[in-house]
Amino acid sequence: FWPFWKLIKALGDEDRAPRLVVLENVCGALSSHDGKDFAAISSALSNNGYRFGAVVINAVHFLPQSRPRLFIIGVRKSSPIPRALIASGPEGEWHPSALVEAYGKLSKRAQSSWEWWRLPAPPARTSIFADLVEDEPHGVTWHTAAETKKLLGMMNPLNLAKVEAAKKAGGRQVGTIYKRTRADGPNGEKVQRAEIRFDDVAGCLRTPTGGSSRQTIMVIEGKRVRSRLLSPREAARLMGLPDTYALPKNYNDAYHLAGDGVAVPVVRFLAEHILEPLLAAALAVEKKAA
C-alpha cells in the first residue's frame, strides 16, 4: 500500500490527485494487526483529502465462487457525493460485523471522513459451478484411478459421506476439493485432508504457491468417480472472464492470474452503483465551473 500511496501523494502535490481511489483486499485486512493496518490506510485517505468508506462483496452473488473481498472507496473532498449513494449507517449485506468493528477502531478524524456506501440488493445468480466445468479440459488431465483413490483416502468420514451421497443422488454431480492440514490423525497428529463441497459453488481461488493451493474437482456419475485439477479456463470463468480472454499457456501463470484477480461482475456492479455516479457528479461540477 505505501509505495502506491506515495505515488498518489506525489500526484496531489502536482494538483493532479485522482478523484477516486479504490482499493481491494482480502477481508483479513480489516483485522490484521488488531485493525491497525486498516486504520493506517483509513488515516492516509482522510489526511490526504479523501472522504471514504468500505464495503465487503462476495463474488458468490454473481459467480459460483465463494470470494468475499474488501473494497475501500475514497473520493476527493472537493467532489460532490450524490445523497443516494450514502446510507445512514451500516447495512448488513455490505457492511458485516468485522467492518463495523474495524470502523470503531478508527481515529476520530478518520471516522469524520467516513461514508457508509449504499448498494442495492445483488441480482439473482443464474449459474452453478457445474455449468462452468469443461467436458474436455485444456491444460489439465484427468487423474488415474489410483490418484483418485488416493484422494478419497485423504477424506475423513464426513467428506466420504458427501461423496457417497453424491453417488446416490444420480445424474452428474460436481464437487470441488481443497487439501488442508488438520489435527485429526489417529493420535491427534496433523495430517493432510481432502475436503469436498457439493453446493454448486467453488472454493475461493488462490494463487498457486503450493500443491494444496490448487483446487481439485471431482465429477461423480453414478458409481463412476473421476478427479482432476481445475483447468485454467474454468478458473477464468469463475472470475467472470469470457472464453475469448487469452490466458497464459503455463498452468501456474493462468491460475495465478485468476487467483490474484478481481471478479469482473463484482467490479462492474461496484462501478455501476458507486464509482460511475461519483465520477459523473464530479465531472458535472467541473463542467459547470468551466
pLDDT tens digits, one per residue of 129-164: 999 999 899 999 999 999 999 999 999 999 999 999
Q: What is the pLDDT of residue 285?
A: 86
Measured at the CA of 11, the angle between CA 9 and CA 17, to 5 degrees, comes to 90
Q: Are strands 191-197 and 68-76 parallel, antiparallel or unpaired?
A: unpaired
Span 199-252, pLDDT tens digits? 999 999 998 876 567 899 999 999 999 999 999 999 999 999 999 999 999 999
Q: What is the pLDDT of residue 211?
A: 58
List Cβ<8 Å contacts ≥24 apart for 154-161: 154/179, 154/192, 154/193, 154/194, 155/193, 155/194, 155/195, 155/196, 156/182, 156/184, 156/193, 159/193, 159/194, 159/195, 159/196
Instruction: Answer for the pair 56, 68: CB distance below 8 angstroms, yes or no.
Output: yes
Stretch 38-50: mean pLDDT: 97
Instruction: Answer for the pair 233, 243: CB distance below 8 angstroms, yes or no.
Output: yes
Every domain of the chain and the residues it spans: 2-123+263-289, 129-259
Q: What is the separation of C-alpha 177 from the centre of its chain, rounded to a whole number of angstroms?
A: 18
Instruction: Answer for the pair 99, 93: CB distance below 8 angstroms, yes or no.
Output: no
Number of Cβ within a 10 Å radius of residue 40: 14
Q: How far apart are CA 78 and CA 265, in angstroms?
A: 29
Instruction: Answer for the pair 212, 224: CB distance below 8 angstroms, yes or no.
Output: no
